[in-house]
Amino acid sequence: MNIKTISVGLCLFFGSMVGKAQVITPQAEQRAREIVSRMTLKEKIEYLSGYTSFSLRAIPRLSIPEIRLADGPQGIRNHAPNSTMYPSGILSASTWNRELVYRLGRGLGQDAGLGECLFY
């Protein structure tokens, strides 16, 4: 085995130990059930269709805020006039250039409206 194969294997192994899936607690499930039970049929139908192609409508009487969405495996895209497109993740990883990928991450954060966020 060469050093790159070992390095990638170790990164995948330790990365899988650090990464955690979102845990949905019984309390969160109960809260969701309560909110849905208070929604009218019209609100439920309207919520399914969204407000725009990249947002879900707010339901102020239930304190549900508008939820904005974005997509794009190569960047943040939400019909903004100045969306930046980045190389795919596998292409970025294949450069083995940590500084370049770090800068890409900062750019994604800025595009997402997070301003000067810290990536580690």
Distance of CA 53 to the CA centre of its chain: 16
Amino acid 39: pLDDT: 95
Amino acid 59: pLDDT: 92
Between residues 20 and 67, the one the model is more confident about = 67
Q: Does the pLDDT of residue 16 top 60, yes or no? A: no
The DSSP code for 59 is: B
pLDDT single digits (tens) 90-115? 888 888 999 998 888 888 777 776 65
Amino acid 119: pLDDT: 43
Question: What is the Cα–Cα distance from 85 to 22, expressed in whole angstroms?
Answer: 27
Give the residue from 81, 61, 57, 84 showing the smallest Cα distance to 69. 57
